[in-house]
Chains A and B, each alone.
Chain A
Amino acid sequence: MKALGLSLAIVLAAGLPCAVAAQDVAARLDARVPADLAHAVQEIARDAAGRGLPVEPLIQKAIEGGAKGVPAPRVIAAVRQLAARLDEAQSAVRSAGTTAPSADAIESGAYALNTGMTASQVSELVRASRPPYDPAVTLRVVATLTALGVPAPQGLAMVEHMISERRAPSELLDLPSEVQAATARGATPTEAVQQLDPQQQGGGATHGPGQHGHSPQPPSPHPHKP
């Protein structure tokens, strides 16, 4: 029932960006950014929507640039760069076998790329994230770990290890806060992951793509909890 509730919430959340995409981009940007900037972003957003990309992050980036007082050419460059990243994320998710990726999965993929994960790591994680694991959620978890300073291969290996052990999705969601707590106690991000998942001590972080977390390991009921 918990998993059902989580799935329903994710389905609803995934629908939000799609609904927003139908709105008039110009109306969203009106009075928030200069007219020429709004026009340029509208063009970029129209192209992106045509390729099946969510446009809400593009609108948000333009509004953010306006709020921060960034010059228009630089905002336009940032919006273009974000559109390219969304494109790359969509391709990475599709190459994992998801023919029609959700807006949420694409956004999470772009976030993962932004934190330093590679497209092949994104694809690998999406491939491993079969129900009940939502790719958008697992991508977000690994990306957040990466943003916290955990090397991407190490974070990826840890999450894949937990998926292979069929751990509850809620346990994945706890990982970033547990890493943060460990680093607050003085551990480096790498040490924090090793404390949470002793399997990482054995070189899990040095595995290449497609080799993470599938080797036989001793059973451990809660390897990510100290």
Chain B
Amino acid sequence: MTTPYHGLVKRVLDGELTLADLPPELRAEGEDALRLLGAVDRAPVTLSPQLDARVMAAVRRHAQSPLRRAWRAVAAPREIELRLRIRPWALWGGALAAAAAVALLLGRPTTPGATPSVVAGVAARDSVFVRFVLYAPGAKRVTVAGTFNQWDQNAAPLVPAGTSGVWTTTLALPIGQHQYAFVVDGRRWVADPAAPAVGDGFGRRNSVVAVTTGARIL
């Protein structure tokens, strides 16, 4: 049951007003409300003496369930320590084998169509994700072309970020230095304003990105 106190009385109960702030006709109601609140606040809370026992018995029953114990045995996290001892010659042997495998992959004759898949194989191991961003309001299509995709202006389209005019894409670039440019609407080559640029030898500028180990970008 709730007592429909006047709004000002409720504010007294909330501590926002004092009894003195109430108009005379509400003071009695305010005093009653405060008395009631005081009685509730000070009333001791007593629990049944059997409550503890009942709760603990329920917890024990739950904990001793065989199904529950089995699940705990399977799912409980455990600390496992792994120690790996590698002799230096094994490390160098592995590195040389990996280098030989890369050389074999790249050394075999390839057709033009096969080249990107070889590069992708290397990229999967030694590559870094690089985000490209261009502000090109009004553009209908933006792509990025460079040495990493054989200057193919259809290989890496950027995606517009809403209607803000910002276009972005993220590419995995192999470790090494790459030159690139954005292609706006399939015909306008634009250097990345956020990256260093060099002359391309054709009277325009190429942007430069160098991807190094440790996910560093020059």
Partner of A111, one of B95, B107, B194, B208: B208
Stretch at the interface among A141-149, A156-164, A207-215: A141-149
The interface on chain B, measured as residues whose beta carbon lies within 8 A of the other chain's beta carbons, has a size of 43
Stretch at the interface among A23-31, A89-97, A124-132, A198-206: A23-31
In this complex, the interface size class of chain A, counting residues with CB under 8 Å from chain B, is: 35 or more
Partner of B151, one of A27, A63, A77, A170: A63
With both chains docked as a complex, state the minimum distance between the C-beta of B166 and any C-beta of chain A, in angstroms.
17
Main SS at interface, chain A: helix
Contact, CB under 8 Å: B99 / A23 = no
Partner of B150, one of A32, A173, A176: A32
**8 Å CB contacts to A: which residues of B77-127?**
95, 98-99, 102-103, 106-107, 109-112, 115, 122, 126
With both chains docked as a complex, state the minimum distance between the C-beta of A118 and any C-beta of chain B, in angstroms.
16
CA distance A20 to B176 in the complex (A): 14
CA distance A77 to B195 in the complex (A): 26
Main SS at interface, chain B: mixed
Judge whether A226 is part of the interface by a CB distance below 8 angstroms. Answer: no
Contact, CB under 8 Å: A174 / B216 = yes
Total A-B pairs in contact (CB under 8 Å)?
Answer: 114
Listed in ascending order, the chain B residues whose CB lies under 8 Å from chain A are: 95, 98-99, 102-103, 106-107, 109-112, 115, 122, 126, 145, 147, 150-153, 175-177, 179, 189, 194, 196-202, 204, 206, 208, 210, 212-214, 216-218
Listed in ascending order, the chain A residues whose CB lies under 8 Å from chain B are: 2, 5-6, 8-13, 15-16, 19-20, 22-24, 27-28, 30-32, 60-61, 63-68, 70, 74-75, 77-78, 81-82, 104, 107-108, 111, 114-115, 137, 140-141, 144, 147-148, 170, 173-174, 176-177, 180
Given A66-B151, A173-B218, A174-B216, 17 extra CB contacts under 8 A:
A5-B213, A12-B98, A15-B102, A27-B111, A28-B112, A60-B179, A61-B201, A64-B147, A67-B145, A67-B153, A68-B202, A108-B177, A137-B212, A141-B218, A144-B208, A147-B196, A147-B208
